[in-house]
Amino acid sequence: MGTLSKLRRLVLRDNVSVREAAKRLNISRNTAKKYLEQPDMVEPQYAKRQSPPGLLEPYKEQLSQWLKTDSHRTRRDRRTVDAHYQAIRAMGYSGGKTMVYAFCRQWKDEQGQLPKGAGFIPLTFEPGEAFQFDWSTEYLLIGGLHRRLEVAHIKLAASRAYLLVAYYAQAHEMLFDAHARAFAVFGGVPRRGIYDNMKTAVDKVGKGKARNVNARFHAMTGHYLFEADFCNVASGWEKGQVEKNVQDRRRHIWREAGQRRWTDLDELNTWLRQVCVDSWQELTHPEWGELSVADVWQQERGHLMALPKPFDGYVEQPARVTTTALIHFQRNRYSVPCEWVNAVVSLRAYASKLRLIGPGGAAVELTRSFDRDQTFYDWQHYIGLLERKPGALRNGAPFKEMPAPLQELQRQLLKNPGGDRVMAQVLSAVPLHGVEAVVVAAELALQAGRVSGEHVLNTLARLKESPVGVTDIDTPLKLQTPPVANPARYDGLRRTGVVA
């Protein structure tokens, strides 16, 4: 069009001949004469280059299938056009590479012009009607390590109030804990929860809306009295609010969190709770522009169901205690009381702890670890074995974690013959008097320089002695004639006659 415009100005305005104008513009005189004969400015149309028919035609369907398959892959895993060309050459294609490139480019252009979606209908929710739940994966530096986190997103559908809770794994017990935390922050429970078909709730997806829901998830919904509603397969727009919440929080909260160093997960979750609640004041509600999310949440709070006590969200499984008083759980080992050796106990896994129910109903709580191939000892679990195996004190792995005064006392006692038995007698007082009292007695014995089991036990007995107090006796006797202070009576006793 630019050349045609210059041609018309040279000939029609500046009275330059057609031959001279075509020479200046480096075009054919016949071409210039053709376009000058047209009364209006018309964009030149050029005939498309026609490829030889029949060469690529048998392979177009195969190429379309490959391109469609690659469109669903990540950019890193997609095959190049040259890979497609080499593949159809192996199938018998004898044409050139240019036709393959042109077909692939044309196919991608046609796909790019197609509508991206079928359109959506905006949804509205009544106060207290529903909440939406989703998981996301984030990465932060916690405890000096770059850790992968599974983050639970819970959002009220009406007020848009939300909460984020981070975990090291995505399991049933984390799902239960996230609901308990969110309902406590929201101040109540909505009547319906909207989920996708996550494995922490749905065991099997059936036809239509049929779902095989996990029994423990059913127990949680029955405890909080809300109804679980699962989206259709691959229909994330049915819970679009929480889906968008995942994207928005990555631009704000997680960007700030990534610039900080966290000691542990509890510190991160405390900060997440506070920053989420604070953001309610700053965010404007999308439907009521003059109100913040916090203002609408205050109104929705009155429509929520009453909050019951937190759901006892654990997942239970049996575990056998080994001969070394250890149980195995998720590639880690934890010590239990030595009296449970070879017994089958009930292991209840919570989000941050393990609760073991042993023979006779005795319970032990342990701190849960999400590392791998670690062994966690509690030296007090092995005290019962020291009466029969006192020699294990010298190299016993659990006793490396005793308090420093007890370790120093052990080093002093083991210098003498029979010191292991003496130390076993001292440790046997821990179940009776408590570890704090025994540690204090050991410190006093070390300060006095008399390192012996008798001295430690004697000091412990003195610490446990209750002071003897004066007991007041209440008597009902009363004097009929109260005494009178009369010094004259004493003078009367000094008279001679009275004395005689």
Cα–Cα distance for residue pair 253/196, rounded to 1 Å: 24
pTM of the model: 0.68
pLDDT per residue as tens digits for the range 354-406: 999 999 889 999 999 999 999 999 999 999 888 888 888 888 899 888 999 88
Percent of the chain with pLDDT over 90: 43
Mean pLDDT, to the nearest integer, of 96-108? 89
Give the Å distances, CA to CA, from 223 to 180, 310, 436: 11, 9, 40
Mean pLDDT, to the nearest integer, of 149-156? 95
Q: How sure is the predictor about 195, in pLDDT bands with cuts at 50, 70 and 90?
A: very high
Cα of 420 vs its chain's centroid, Å: 46
pLDDT per residue as tens digits for the range 466-485: 555 566 666 677 778 877 78
Q: How sure is the predictor about 136, in pLDDT bands with cuts at 50, 70 and 90?
A: very high
> Do you know the residue count of the chain?
500
pLDDT of res. 35: 78
Confirm if 35 and 11 have CB atoms less than 8 A apart: no
Residue 329 has φ and ψ, to the nearest 5°, of -150, 115
pLDDT of res. 478: 76
pLDDT per residue as tens digits for the range 249-272: 888 899 899 989 999 999 999 999
Element (H, E) at 480: none
Residue 212 CB neighbours (<10 A): 10
Its sign, for the CA torsion 92, 93, 94, 96, is: negative
Structure tokens at 335: 């010590």
Cα of 115 vs its chain's centroid, Å: 37
Mean pLDDT of the chain: 87
